[in-house]
Amino acid sequence: MAQKHNITMLGTGLIGLFYTMTLHGQRGRDRVSCVYSRDIDRAQGFARKWGIEHAVTDMEEAIKHSSSDVVIIGLPNHLHEEAVQICADANKAVLCTKPLARSAAEARRILDIVESSGIFGGYLEDLVYTPKTLKALESVRRGALGEILWTRSREAHSGPHSSWFWDIEQAGGGAIVDLGCHCIEIIRNFVGKDIRPIEVSCWADTLVHPIKAEDNSIALIRFENGAVGQFEVSWTFRGGMDLRDEVAGTEGTIWLNHFLRTGFEMFSSGAGGYVAEKAEQESGWLFPVGDEVHELGYTDMFTDMFNAMDEGREPMETIYDGYVVNAVIDACYRSAKSRKWEPVELEDWRGRTGVARMQGLKEKIDGLELVKRERLPNGEVKLILKDPGTGEVTQRVVEND
C-alpha cells in the first residue's frame, strides 16, 4: 500500500523547483513540507508559491524537521556529502541529485554513510527514467536489439545557469561531471549495469569559456563484455538543449531524441516567455517541450523512489550507481590528462565478474560463417562467407529476380 511521504527540500534553485513542480504538479500524495534556503525571503517566497508549510534557513534544522520523513538534496555538488551525513544522523531517507559527488572518493564516503546508517538512499538520475528511455530499456531487456554493442549518449547546451557550476572546487569539474554523469548512467543502463566498465579514453578541452574546467568532452567507455559507450558533452552548444541517445545491437537500433525537435514546433513573435530549459530564444521558430518534468523523467523517478521505500526494495537508481558513475568520471579526467586509456578504478564492484566477450552473429551455411547477407539494387541476394579453417572470404549470389 503506497504511503504518503513528507519531504524536506534542500535548495530552491533550478532543481529544487523542478522537483517541487513534479511532486506538487499533479494530484500526488507526496508533498514538500519543509524547504531550506540560506535566504529567508527566498525560502518563504518558494514556500508560499508551492504551498509548503515550513521555510527554514538552517540546513540541519531542515533535515531534522519533524514534519518530514524524506530529504531531497538539490544543493550544489560540494554540499552533498555534508547533507547526506546529517540525514544519516537524523535517520532519514535521502534522495540525492546528480552527480552524487565530485569524485569517486567522495561518492564512496557517501555510500558508506548511507549503508552503515541503514537509511534508504536513492540516486536522482532522472534521464534514465524518461518515458522514452524506460520503454527503450524494456525493449532491450526483452531482446529486441540482441546484444548491445554500442551506446551513444549526448547532452549539450550553452552552459549552466549558476556561478557555482563554473567554480571547479564547488562543482568538481566542468561539463563531464555536470552532463557526463547523465550520459554514463544512460550508457550503463543500456549495456547492463552488471557489466563492469573497464577503461576509458577521453578528450576534454576548454574551448570557449574563461574557466579552469572543461567545457567540451568526448569519451569512450569499454565494458568487460566488449560493448562500448560513447558520450559527448558540451557547455558551448548553441540552440537549446540537445539530449540524444543511440543504442546499437546485433538485432536492432534505437534512436532517442528527448528535447529538441521532438514533434512540437511553434513560431512566435516573442510574447510567450519561457519556452524550455536552456532554450536560447523566445521568438522565431521554437521547440517547446510538452510536459517538461515528465519528459525529463522526474515523474517516473519519484514514483520509483517512493514505491521502493514503501516496498522495502532498492530503487532502480541507487547510491551505489552514483558511486560507479563518479568512478567512470574520475577515469575520464585521468585519461584526458594522460591522453591514454585509463582503467576505471572501482574498489567496490558489485556486478558480474569474468563476463565473456560477446560472440556476435554465428550463422553458418555449408560450414562457412556468414559475414553478411544483402539484397543489391539489381535484385540479387549476395552472401559474404568466411571459411573458418583457412580464413578465406568468398561471395555467393543465392537469388536472382
Ligand X SMILES: NC(=O)c1ccc[n+]([C@@H]2O[C@H](COP(=O)([O-])OP(=O)(O)OC[C@H]3O[C@@H](n4cnc5c(N)ncnc54)[C@H](O)[C@@H]3O)[C@@H](O)[C@H]2O)c1
DSSP label of 358:
P
From the CB of 134, what's the least distance to ligand X, in Å?
16
Q: How far apart are CA 172 and CA 330, in angstroms?
A: 10
15 belongs to the binding site for ligand X (CB under 6 A): yes
- Whole-angstrom Cα distance, residue 20 to residue 24? 6
Cell 578465406: give the residue: 392
Rounded Cα gap, residues 173 and 76, in angstroms: 12
* 162 is a site residue for ligand X (CB under 6 A): yes
Q: Is 126 in the site for ligand X (CB under 6 A)?
A: yes
93-97 and 70-73: which strand pairing? parallel
**Grid-cell match 574498489, residue found:** 347
Least Å from the CB of residue 205 to ligand X: 21
Binding test (CB under 6 A) with ligand X, winner from 164, 239, 260, 355? 164
If one asks whether residue 13 binds ligand X (CB under 6 A), the answer comes out as yes
Comparing every residue's Cβ against ligand X, the nearest one is 13
Is position 130 an interface residue for ligand X (rule: CB under 6 A)? no
Q: At its nearest, how many Å lie between ligand X and the CB of residue 157? A: 11
Q: Which of 297, 287, 231 is nearest to 263 (CA)?
A: 287
CA-wise closest residue to 144 among 12, 282, 18, 252 = 252
Least separation in angstroms between CB 369 and ligand X: 45
158 binds ligand X, rule: CB under 6 A? no
Cβ-contact 324, 339 below 8 angstroms: no
Verify binding: residue 98, ligand X, rule CB under 6 A.
yes
Instruction: Establish if 172 lies at the interface with ligand X (CB under 6 A).
Output: no
590528462: which residue's cell? Answer: 337
| Closer residue to ligand X (CB): 36 or 223 | 36
Per CB under 6 A, which region of 13-21, 50-58, 201-209, 210-218 contacts ligand X? 13-21
User: Using the rule CB under 6 A, is 76 a contact of ligand X?
Assistant: yes
Alpha-carbon distance 102 to 167, whole Å? Answer: 12
Should residue 77 be labelled a site residue for ligand X when binding is judged by CB under 6 A?
yes
Applying CB under 6 A, the residues found at the interface with ligand X are 11-16, 37-38, 74-77, 79, 97-98, 124, 126, 162, 164
